[in-house]
């Protein structure tokens, strides 16, 4: 009887040891998975942060250029009065042509974000708010892209309108642009179509500037959320 009791206790101890070993193995696997996912999440957050930092710099650059362009468009309306009908060729391109044909736009870089979303890696990010911000980026950038396209279309239309004036058309080609002969007797600043394009472009560049400001605020929020998530790792 005593021998059977000892045998029973031994079997029980062995069973407990086996179960403990299995549980320990599961715990080690879980810890390893958590560790590996933590490394993946950190690498993901680092990559996203670098991409959004570049985008933030680009938005700031574009915003500054848009403000310069809007000012040049404003001054275009005053050129006929200020110049007396004559503009030196050395500055004619900058004051007459460039404000109307340049769009001052660029695309947002989203390669890393797109790859993250398409691969399902976004789920690795624990921060729910950050995931929502990242998912919203495409929608906000689409709004900016639509305004960007309007500005580009207006620039193309303006180039076509200016092309009716031989003196100005010659300035559009950087290879043949004159640098010494004065451009005289031009009438573009009183051309109703050109003036309408100037007004429309200035108006829509104002809208575009607002969209860029919205995009900048979104990028700021994402970078701040990424920094919070990184600080918890």
Provide the residue ranges of all domains of the chain, joining segments of one domain with +.
Answer: 2-231
The span from the CA of 55 to the CA of 51, in Å, is 6
Q: Is the CB of residue 59 less than 8 Å from the CB of residue 219?
A: yes
Q: Is the CB of residue 111 less than 8 Å from the CB of residue 127?
A: no
Report the half-sphere exposure of 17 (CA within 13 A, side-chain side).
Answer: 6
Is the pLDDT confidence value at 121 over 90? no
pLDDT (0 to 100) of residue 9: 60
The span from the CA of 73 to the CA of 79, in Å, is 10
The span from the CA of 17 to the CA of 37, in Å, is 30
When pLDDT is cut at 50, 70 and 90, the band that residue 24 belongs to is very low
Q: Is the CB of residue 163 less than 8 Å from the CB of residue 53?
A: no
Q: Which has the minimum average pLDDT: 104-113, 139-148, 177-186, 197-206?
A: 177-186
For residues 150-158, give the mean pLDDT.
Answer: 92
For residues 33-38, give the mean pLDDT.
Answer: 54
User: Model-level pTM?
Assistant: 0.76
The span from the CA of 197 to the CA of 105, in Å, is 18
For residues 38-45, give the mean pLDDT.
Answer: 84
Is the pLDDT confidence value at 94 over 70? yes
E strand intervals along 100-222: 183-184
Which candidate, 212, 189, 201, 186, places its Cα nearest to that of 101? Answer: 201
For the record, the structure tokens of 103 come out as: 């769009």
What does pLDDT average to over the chain?
79
Is the pLDDT confidence value at 137 over 80? yes
For the record, the structure tokens of 134 come out as: 């990242």
When pLDDT is cut at 50, 70 and 90, the band that residue 35 belongs to is very low
pLDDT (0 to 100) of residue 75: 85
When pLDDT is cut at 50, 70 and 90, the band that residue 231 belongs to is confident
- How far is residue 69 from each of residues 4, 49, 174, 192, measured CA to CA in Å? 96, 30, 19, 20
When pLDDT is cut at 50, 70 and 90, the band that residue 214 belongs to is very high
pLDDT (0 to 100) of residue 124: 84
When pLDDT is cut at 50, 70 and 90, the band that residue 152 belongs to is very high
When pLDDT is cut at 50, 70 and 90, the band that residue 184 belongs to is low
The span from the CA of 123 to the CA of 128, in Å, is 9
Is the pLDDT confidence value at 34 over 90? no
């Amino acid at each position: 009887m005593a021998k059977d009791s000892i045998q029973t206790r031994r079997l029980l101890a062995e069973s407990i040891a086996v179960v403990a070993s299995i549980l320990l193995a599961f715990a080690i696997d879980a810890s390893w998975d958590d560790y590996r996912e933590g490394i993946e999440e950190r690498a993901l957050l680092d990559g996203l942060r670098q991409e959004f930092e570049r985008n933030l710099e680009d938005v700031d650059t574009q915003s500054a250029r848009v403000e310069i362009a809007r000012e040049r468009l404003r001054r275009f309306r005053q050129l006929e009065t200020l110049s007396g009908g004559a503009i030196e060729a050395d500055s004619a391109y900058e004051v007459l042509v460039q404000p109307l044909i340049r769009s001052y736009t660029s695309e947002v870089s989203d390669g890393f974000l797109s790859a993250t979303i398409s691969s399902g890696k976004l789920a690795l990010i624990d921060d729910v708010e950050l995931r929502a911000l990242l998912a919203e980026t495409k929608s906000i950038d689409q709004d900016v892209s639509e305004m960007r396209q309007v500005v580009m279309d207006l620039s193309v239309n303006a180039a076509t309108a200016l092309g009716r004036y031989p003196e100005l058309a010659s300035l559009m080609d950087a290879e043949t642009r004159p640098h010494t002969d004065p451009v005289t007797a031009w009438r573009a600043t009183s051309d109703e179509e050109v003036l309408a394009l100037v007004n429309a472009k200035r108006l829509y560049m104002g809208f575009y500037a607002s969209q860029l400001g919205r995009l900048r605020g979104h990028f700021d929020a994402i970078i701040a959320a990424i920094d919070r998530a990184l600080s918890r790792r």
